[in-house]
């Protein structure tokens, strides 16, 4: 602290968000949270404050605020107005206070970038490009007061401005801003459901899902991108397998012919030779589990006990390559035989297509045997694969991106209108929007909604039918809004799927 030179007057120079700040000439920065900054400014003399600005969000706002403070080292005081309900909800002011009082630690952003995380119950971030020592010096150099009202802000600013002139705490500092375009989008980590007609189509959708929303994390094999408990449902893979032309799958038909034996056929146990799935299924537990499954279905086609186990409890001991495929379950419902396989760990780029084809072959083998012995004609149902750690290794990311680029859009353009949740017929009657929910097959009406606004109706429909397909749900939203416009404007021209004529 030094004695004030008689004519000191600072100019605050905002580097970030300049048009959102009210600048003055003092040494006190005022953070108004969600309170309108102009309503604070008009009670103060610009000679007494350095800057007045809002802080809405702890995740996006504290970073630029701190960058500006580092570039204006004459600011030695902060007054933080944490007054409104919005402030408490957003937590920005509280988080800023925690930065000053408790500091920060290195961590990761949502998209996996390194970042300084404020030591707070509230998520608050500061760019990693800002030097740690500079942040520490800033924390030590600022005196601050919390205010609950504009009056308290005015009192605190007056008190600070009476204080003796403080020397700037250092040279102004600026740090580069990394323009990173995040590659990972937010999304649920657990339990994705992906459906496709063929293994090839399902695979492309899997790659897209993991590459866009999977978590990037280090593993003993290097980095991978991962989602947990991904359920892939292949509905119509043909008997002799669909190989696209040109073939974008990571395997050829010849490889599959050989690989199928590894799932269906027994193999002798030899020391030092890795297990095969066939061996685990046919002999490892001193019984032929595939045969057991077939016999069980023949004796009780409705059984829900048709299970094959591949994980051996001894796999924890002396096995540095325990099986990835752990559990198979077969079920007949409505004369349709489905097979569900669970992998504890699944390399979705390189291994999943072969795993899926091998399992489809097993499913076909079971249905043939059951049909032969049972003199019945059970149909081939879906193949369902639950991949618990569904991952793509980093050395395949580029290749995966290429497959997504060329194939994913094409697959998305194949429009189908067969949402198993059914369809909705929208009309206007007696000054209300009427929505009839009909079954996918015979079109029977199973429910009816009515209301005057799209919002009320979409909320009801979404709550009642939460498994609607996403494109179908979005389409419904647009149709309901069209119907509402017709209702409000007294037009009797609403026709589902037809352009709105105003
Ligand atoms: O049929 C298989 C066999 C192996 N893997 C992959 C999954 C993992 O990436 C790796 C095995 O590693 P561990 O989980 O056993 O460490 O091989 C498969 O995806 N399918």
- Please write the tens of the pLDDT for every residue from 181-240: 557 899 999 999 999 999 999 999 999 999 999 999 888 777 899 999 999 999 999 999
Q: What are the tokens at 449?
A: 């909604």
Look at the block and give the residue holding tokens 């930065």: 99
Atom of ligand 1 nearest to the CA of 345: 7
Type and span of the H or E element at 353: helix 352-374
Q: What's the token pair of residue 199?
A: 């293994």
- Residue 87 neighbours by CB under 8 Å, 6+ apart: 33, 34, 35, 81, 93, 94
Ligand 1 atom closest to Cα of 391? Answer: 9
* pLDDT reported for residue 1: 44
Q: Residues with Cβ < 8 Å from 301, sequence gap 6 or more?
A: 332, 370, 374, 376, 378
Locate the ligand 1 atom nearest the alpha carbon of residue 325 and give its number. 1
For tokens 């991106």, what's the residue?
A: 401
Q: Which atom of ligand 1 is nearest to the CA of 348?
A: 19
354 lines ligand 1 (CB under 6 A): no
Nearest CA to ligand 1 atom 14: 345
Q: What is the mean pLDDT of the chain?
A: 93
Instruction: Find out whether the beta carbon of 347 lies less than 6 Å from any atom of ligand 1.
Output: yes
CB of 47 closer than 8 Å to CB of 23: no
The residue-averaged pLDDT of 444-459 equals 98
**8 to each of 13, 22, 41, 117, how far by Cα in Å?**
16, 19, 21, 36
Position 358 pLDDT exceeds 90: yes
Residue 2, pLDDT above cutoff 60: no
Residue 302 phi, psi (nearest 5):
-90, 5
| Residue 342, ligand 1, Cβ within 6 A | no
Atom 12 of ligand 1, residue of closest alpha carbon? 345
The answer to whether the CB of 480 is under 6 A from ligand 1 is no
The residue to mutate among 226, 326, 346, having the most atoms of ligand 1 within 8 angstroms of its beta carbon, is: 346
Is pLDDT of 492 > 80?
A: no
Q: What is the DSSP string of 10-26?
A: -----SS-GGGEEE-SS
CA–centroid distance, 32 to ligand 1, in Å, is: 54
Section 467-491 average pLDDT: 95
Q: Pocket of ligand 1, candidates 347, 386, 391: which has the most ligand atoms within 8 Å of its Cβ, to mutate? A: 347
* Predicted structure pTM score: 0.79
Across residues 12-25, what is the average pLDDT? 91
| pLDDT level of residue 484 (50, 70, 90 thresholds) | very high
Task: Check if 345 has its Cβ closer than 6 Å to any atom of ligand 1.
Answer: yes
| Contact 23 CB / ligand 1 (< 6 Å) | no
Pairing relationship of beta strands 21-23 and 51-53 according to DSSP bridges: antiparallel
Beta bridge partners of 331: 338
Judge whether 446 and 422 are in contact, CB under 8 Å: yes
Q: List strands edge to edge, sheet with 432-438.
A: 423-429, 432-438, 445-451
Token pair belonging to 49 = 């404050």
Q: What is the model's pLDDT at position 178?
A: 78
CA of 324 to the centre of ligand 1 (A): 5
Q: How many CB atoms lie within 10 A of CB 395?
A: 13
Q: ipTM value, please give it.
A: 0.96
What is the rounded distance in angstroms from the CA atom of residue 55 to the CA atom of residue 91?
10
The token pair at 280 is 């685990």
């Amino acid at each position: 602290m030094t004695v004030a030179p008689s004519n000191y007057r600072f100019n605050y120079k905002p580097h970030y968000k300049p048009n959102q700040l009210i600048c003055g000439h003092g040494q006190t920065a005022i953070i108004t949270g969600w309170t309108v900054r102009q309503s604070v400014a008009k009670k103060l003399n610009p000679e007494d404050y350095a800057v007045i600005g809002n802080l809405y969000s702890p995740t996006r706002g504290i970073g630029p605020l701190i960058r500006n403070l580092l570039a204006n080292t004459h600011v030695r005081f902060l007054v933080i107005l944490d007054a409104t309900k919005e402030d408490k909800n957003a937590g920005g002011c509280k988080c800023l206070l925690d930065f000053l009082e408790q500091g920060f630690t290195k961590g990761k952003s949502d998209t996996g970038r390194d970042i300084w995380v404020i030591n707070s119950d509230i998520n608050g971030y500061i760019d990693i490009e800002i030097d740690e020592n500079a942040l520490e010096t800033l924390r030590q150099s600022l005196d601050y007061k919390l205010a609950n009202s504009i009056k308290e802000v005015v009192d605190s600013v007056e008190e600070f401005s009476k204080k003796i002139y403080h020397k700037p705490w250092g040279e102004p500092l600026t740090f580069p801003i990394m323009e990173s375009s995040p590659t990972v989008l937010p999304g649920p980590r657990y339990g994705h459901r992906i459906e496709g007609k063929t293994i090839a189509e399902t695979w492309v959708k899997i790659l897209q899902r993991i590459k866009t929303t999977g978590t990037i994390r280090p593993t003993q094999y290097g980095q991978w991108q991962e989602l947990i408990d991904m359920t892939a449902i292949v509905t119509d893979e043909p008997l002799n397998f669909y190989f696209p032309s040109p073939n974008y799958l990571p395997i050829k038909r010849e490889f599959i012919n050989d690989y199928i034996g590894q799932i269906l056929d027994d193999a002798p146990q030899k020391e030092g030779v890795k297990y095969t799935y066939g061996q685990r299924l046919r002999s490892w537990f001193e019984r032929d589990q595939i045969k057991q499954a077939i016999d069980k279905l023949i004796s009780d086609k409705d059984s829900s006990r048709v299970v094959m186990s591949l994980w051996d409890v001894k796999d924890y001991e002396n096995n540095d390559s325990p099986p990835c495929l752990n559990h198979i379950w077969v079920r007949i419902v409505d004369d349709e035989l489905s097979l569900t396989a669970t992998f504890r760990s699944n390399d979705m780029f390189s291994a999943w297509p072969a795993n899926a084809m091998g399992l489809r072959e097993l499913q076909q083998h079971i249905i043939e045997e059951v049909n032969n012995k049972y003199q019945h004609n059970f149909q081939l149902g879906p193949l369902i694969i639950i991949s618990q750690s569904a991952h793509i290794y980093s050395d395949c990311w580029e290749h995966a991106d290429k497959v997504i680029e060329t194939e994913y859009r094409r697959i998305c353009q194949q429009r189908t209108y067969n949402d198993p949740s059914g369809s909705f017929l929208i009309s206007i009657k007696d000054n209300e929007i009427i929505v009839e929910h009909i079954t996918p097959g015979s079109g029977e009406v199973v429910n009816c909604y009515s209301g005057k606004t799209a919002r009320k109706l979409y909320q009801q429909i979404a709550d009642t039918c939460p498994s609607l397909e996403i494109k179908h749900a979005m389409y419904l939203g647009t149709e309901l809004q069209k119907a509402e416009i017709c209702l409000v404007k007294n037009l009797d021209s609403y026709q589902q799927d037809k352009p709105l004529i105003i």
